[in-house]
Structure 1
Amino acid sequence: MSSEYAVEQWMTVELSDDRVYAYLAIQPMAEPITCTLKDLEDLLSRYRVRYGVKQGILQQIAENPRRFAGKMTLIAEGEPPKAGRDGEIRMLYDTEQANKRPQENDDGTVDFKEISRIWNVRKGQLIAERIVAEEGTPGKSVSGEVLEGRRGKEAKFKIGKNVVSDGDQLALYSAMDGMMTLTDRGKINVFPIYEVNGDVDYRIGNIDFFGSVVIRGNVLPGFKVKAAGDIRVTGGVESAELEAVGSIEISAGILGHNKGMIRAGVNVKSAFIQDAQVEAGQDILVTQSIMHSQIRAGRNVICKGAKGLIIGGTVQAGEKVVARVVGNTMSTPTAIEVGVLPELRNELSTLRTQLRQLADSLDKTEKALVLLDQMAAAGQLSQDKIAMRIKLTHTKKQALEEQAASRERILEIEKTLEDTDRARVEIISIVYGGTKIVIGRYTRFVKESAPRVYFKYLDGDIAMLPNS
Structure 2
Amino acid sequence: MEEIRPYQLEVKISPDKMEAIVILKTEESQPEKLSLTEDDVYQVLQEHGVKFGIQQSVVRELCAMPTKYIDARLPVAAGVPAVPGEDGKIEYPYLDVVEPDSGPKELADGRVDFYNLTNIPNVVKGQLLARKHPATAGVPGTSVTGETIAPKAGKDAILKPGKNVVINQERTMVYAAIDGQVSFTEKEKINVFPVYEVKGDVDFSVGNIEFVGTVVIRGNVLNGFRVKASGDIRVLGSVEGADLEANGSIEIKSGIVAQDKGSIIAGQNVKTSFIQNANVNAGNDVIVSQSIMFSTVRAGRQIVCNGAKGFIIGGVLQAGEKISARVFGNTSATPTVLEVGVKPELRTELAEITKQLQNLYENLRKTDQGLTVINQILQTSGDLPSDKRVMQVKLTNTRLVLEKEAKDLEARKKQVEAELVGESPAAIEVFNTMYPGIKMTFGKLVHFNKHEYGRTRFLVINGEVTNVTLV
Report the TM-score range of the alignment, normalised by the length of the smaller protein.
0.5 to 0.7
- State which of 248, 261, 264 in structure 1 corresponds to 2:263: 261
| Per-residue deviation, residues 315-371 of structure 1 (Å, max 9, x unmatched) | 111111111122222222211111111112101111112222222332333344334
CA distance in 1, matches of 2:217, 2:360: 48
Q: Tell me, in whole angstroms, the C-alpha distance in 2 between the residues paired with 1:368 and 1:411.
A: 30
Can you give the 5+ residue segments of structure 1 that lack an aligned partner in the other structure? 1-122, 124-161, 163-173, 180-189
Q: Is the 8 A contact 1:177 1:210 kept in 2?
A: no
- 1:419 Cα offset (Å): 5.1
**Residues 10-60 of structure 1 deviation map (CA, whole Å, 9 limit, x = unaligned):** xxxxxxxxxxxxxxxxxxxxxxxxxxxxxxxxxxxxxxxxxxxxxxxxxxx
Q: Determine which of 385, 388, 395 is the counterpart of 1:385.
A: 388
- Paired residue secondary structure (1:246): coil
Q: What corresponds to 1:458 in structure 2?
A: 461
Counterparts of residues 76-91 of structure 1 (less than 5 Å) = none
Structure 2: distance between partners of 1:445 and 1:349: 22
**1-side partners of 2:193 and 2:413: how far apart?**
46
1:332 is paired with a residue whose SS is: coil
> Is 1:199 paired with 2:201?
yes
Paired residue for 2:276, among 274, 277, 284?
A: 274
Shift of 1:380: 5.1
Would you say the 8 A contact 1:177–1:192 is kept in 2? yes
1:449 matched residue in structure 2: 452
Q: Residue 194 of structure 1: CA displacement? A: 2.8
Between 1:235-244 and 1:285-294, the stretch displaced more is: 235-244
- Of the three residues 360, 363, 370, the one matched with 2:362 is 360
1:441, distance to aligned residue in structure 2 (A): 2.1
For 1:356 and 1:201, locate their aligned partners in 2 and report how far apart those are by CA, in whole Å. Answer: 41
Give the conservation status (yes or no) of the 8 Å contact 1:294–1:314: yes
Match of 2:409 in 1: 406
Counterparts in 2 of 1:210 and 1:390: CA distance versus 1, 3 Å: closer
CA drift at 1:205: 3.2
Q: Give 2:231's match in structure 1, choosing from 223, 229, 232.
A: 229
Q: Is residue 193–residue 212 contact of structure 2 (8 Å, CA) maintained in 1?
A: no
Give the alignment partner of residue 296 of structure 2, picking from 290, 294, 315.
294
How far off is 1:381 after superposition?
4.7
Matches within 5 A, 1:26-65: none
Query: Distance in 2 between the 1:192 and 1:365 partners?
Result: 54
- SS of residue in 1 equivalent to 2:349: helix
CA separation of 1:276 and 1:374: change in aligned 2, threshold 3 A: same
- Report SS of the residue matched to 1:203: coil
CA distance in 2: counterparts of 1:243 and 1:342, whole angstroms: 18
Counterpart-to-counterpart distance in 1, 2:359 and 2:283 = 31
Matched-pair contact (CA < 8 Å) for 1:292–1:311: yes
1:344 pairs with one of 336, 339, 346? 346
Taking the TM superposition and a 5 Å limit, the aligned residue runs for 1:118-267 are 175-176=177-178, 192-267=194-269
1:390-428 Cα offsets, whole Å, 9 max, x none, are 222222221211111011111121222235422111122
Cα deviation, 1:229-271, whole Å, max 9, x if unaligned, reads 2222222111122222211111110111111221111111000
Indicate how the Cα distance of structure 1 residues 381 and 466 shifts in structure 2: closer, same or farther if over 3 A, else same: farther
Partner of 2:428: 425
Q: Secondary structure at the match of 2:356?
A: helix
Identity of aligned residues (%): 49
Match of 2:46 in 1: none
Give me the whole-angstrom Cα distance separating, in 2, the residues matched to 1:356 and 1:191: 44
Partner SS for 1:450: coil
Return the TM-score normalized by structure 2: 0.56
Root mean square deviation, CA, Å: 2.7
Code of the aligned partner of 2:266: A
Q: Closer, same or farther in 2 for the Cα pair 1:386/1:219, shift >3 Å?
A: same
- Other structure's SS at 2:410 match: helix
Choose from 319, 323, 326 the match for 1:324. Answer: 326
Identify the residue that residue 34 of structure 2 maps to in structure 1. Answer: none
Deviation at 1:447, TM superposition (A): 2.7
CA shift for structure 1 position 433: 2.5
Number of residues of Structure 1 aligned to a counterpart in Structure 2 = 288
C-alpha contact 1:178 1:209 (8 A) present in aligned 2 = no
Structure possessing the higher radius of gyration over alpha carbons? 1
Q: Secondary structure at the match of 1:402?
A: helix
Question: Deviations along 1:199-222, whole A, 9 cap, x unmatched?
Answer: 223333333333322222222222
Structure-1 separation of matches of 2:235 and 2:442: 34
Residue type at the aligned position of 1:176 = I
Measured in 2, the distance between the counterparts of 1:177 and 1:401 equals: 51
Q: Is the 8 A contact 2:377 2:384 kept in 1?
A: no
| Partner Cα separation in structure 2 for residue 357 and residue 229 of structure 1 | 37
How far 1:297 moved relative to its partner? 0.8
In structure 2, relative to structure 1, the CA distance for the partners of 1:314 and 1:369 (3 Å cut) is: same
Quickly say closer, same or farther: Cα 1:372–1:202, change in 2 above 3 A: closer
Q: Distance in 2 between matches of 1:191 and 1:412?
A: 38
Q: Determine the C-alpha separation between the residues in 1 that align with 2:217 and 2:349.
A: 34
For structure 2, list consecutive stretches of 5 or more residues without a partner in the other structure. 1-124, 126-163, 165-175, 182-191
Distance 2:252 2:323 in 1: 20
* Aligned-residue offset at 1:191: 8.2
By how many angstroms is 1:175 displaced?
Answer: 4.6
Taking a change above 3 Å as real, the CA distance of residues 207 and 367 of structure 1, as seen in their structure-2 partners, is closer
Partner Cα distance (1:420, 1:283) in 2: 21
Over 3 Å counting, the alpha-carbon distance change for 1:388 and 1:191 in structure 2 is closer
Determine whether 1:304 maps to 2:306.
yes
Return the alpha-carbon distance in structure 1 between the equivalents of residues 462 and 193 of structure 2.
55
